[in-house]
Amino acid sequence: MCLAVPGKVVDIEGEGLLRMGRVDFSGVQRQACLAYVPEVEVGDFVLVHVGFAISRIDEEAARETLAALAELGALEQELDPGGGA
């Protein structure tokens, strides 16, 4: 039940506790309440849980995580160019 899915905010309407928006999940769009992510703008990614955005995805943090993973992946290529674990 704590499933939350990342999606891209495509429009925003209303403000304060009535702030709502359309969120695109790889082509499927749904309304979500954006009241808890007042900093979010159109184009941002949010995590949506039961119709509520509970968090804005921090793109900078995501980039850092992926860079660390890419570094490990490159190391893996050097150690085991044929792949397979």
Partner 1 sequence: MRHVDEYRDPAAVRAVVRRIHETVTRPWTLMEVCGGQTHSILKFGLDELLPSQVRLVHGPGCPVCVTPLELIDRAIAIASRPDVIFCSFGDMLRVPGSRDDLLRVKARGGEVRIVYSPLDALRLARQSPDRRVVFFAVGFETTAPANAMAVHRAAKEGLTNFSVLVAHVLVPPALEALLSCEDAQIQGLLAPGHVCAVTGYADYEPVAEKHSIPVVVTGFEPLDLLRGVLAAVTQLERGEARVENQYPRAVVREGNQAALAMIADVFVVSDRSWRGLGQIPKSGYALAPAYAAFDAEKVFDVSSVSAKEPEECRAGLVLQGRLRPTDCPEFGVRCTPEHPLGATMVSTEGACAAYFHYRTGPRATAAAS
Which residues make up the interface to partner 1 (CB under 8 A)? Answer: 1-4, 6, 8, 17, 25-26, 33, 35-38, 45, 47, 49-52, 54-55, 57-59, 61-62, 64-66, 69-70, 72-73, 75-77, 79-80, 83-85
The nearer residue to partner 1, 22 or 49, going by C-beta atoms, is: 49
Cβ-contact 62, 68 below 8 angstroms? no
Report strand pairing: 20-25 vs 5-13.
Answer: antiparallel
For residue 42, which phi and psi values (nearest 5 degrees)? -55, 135
The nearer residue to partner 1, 13 or 25, going by C-beta atoms, is: 25
